[in-house]
Each structure stands twice: as structure tokens, then as C-alpha cells.
Amino acid sequence: MYYVYILKSLIKNRHYIGYSADLKRRLIEHNSGKVKSTKAMKPWELIYYEAHQKECLARKTEIFYKTGQGRRQLKKKLEIK
């Protein structure tokens, strides 16, 4: 399985969208500072994820959620301000 996930920074009002085959490991990497793009805003909490059987579908979903239309859809789904 491949997971598209959304993290929320506990110190700043920021979100991060990504995908991974190992969600638990990836969250640990984000919170331990091993991910350059997220280490300045740690700690992170997982607020949403969805599973896909194929990596290509997870990647396409991640890319969509990073678009304006995708972010609007997520805001409605998750009630993010």
C-alpha cells in the first residue's frame, strides 16, 4: 500500500502533503528533522491519510492535492482554515 498523507505543524499554522509506502517511518523522519523541507516546523501531527494500492495513484493524488483545486477540496473535507 501507498499512503497520501497530510501533516500539521504543532508550532506554526502550516500543512505538509506527501506520500509514502511506510507512513509510520515517514512521520518519524519528519519529526526527527531528517526531511529538509519540514524540519524547521516540527513537531508534526498526522491529520489525514488515504491508502492506494498503486504508487502511481498515490503520486497523482499527492500532486492533485498540491494544486489550488486539490487544496480547496481538502479544506472542505478536513475543515482546514
Domain spans of the chain?
A: 2-78
The reported pTM is 0.91
CA atoms of 26 and 6, how far apart (whole Å): 12
**pLDDT of amino acid 79:** 80
CA atoms of 8 and 48, how far apart (whole Å): 9
**pLDDT of amino acid 64:** 97
CA atoms of 46 and 9, how far apart (whole Å): 9
CA 46 → CA 13, 40, distances in Å? 14, 17
Task: Give per-residue pLDDT as tens, 2-44.
Answer: 999 999 999 998 999 999 999 999 999 999 999 999 999 999 9
CATH (one of 2.40.10, 3.30.70, 1.10.1740, 3.40.1440) for 2-78: 3.40.1440
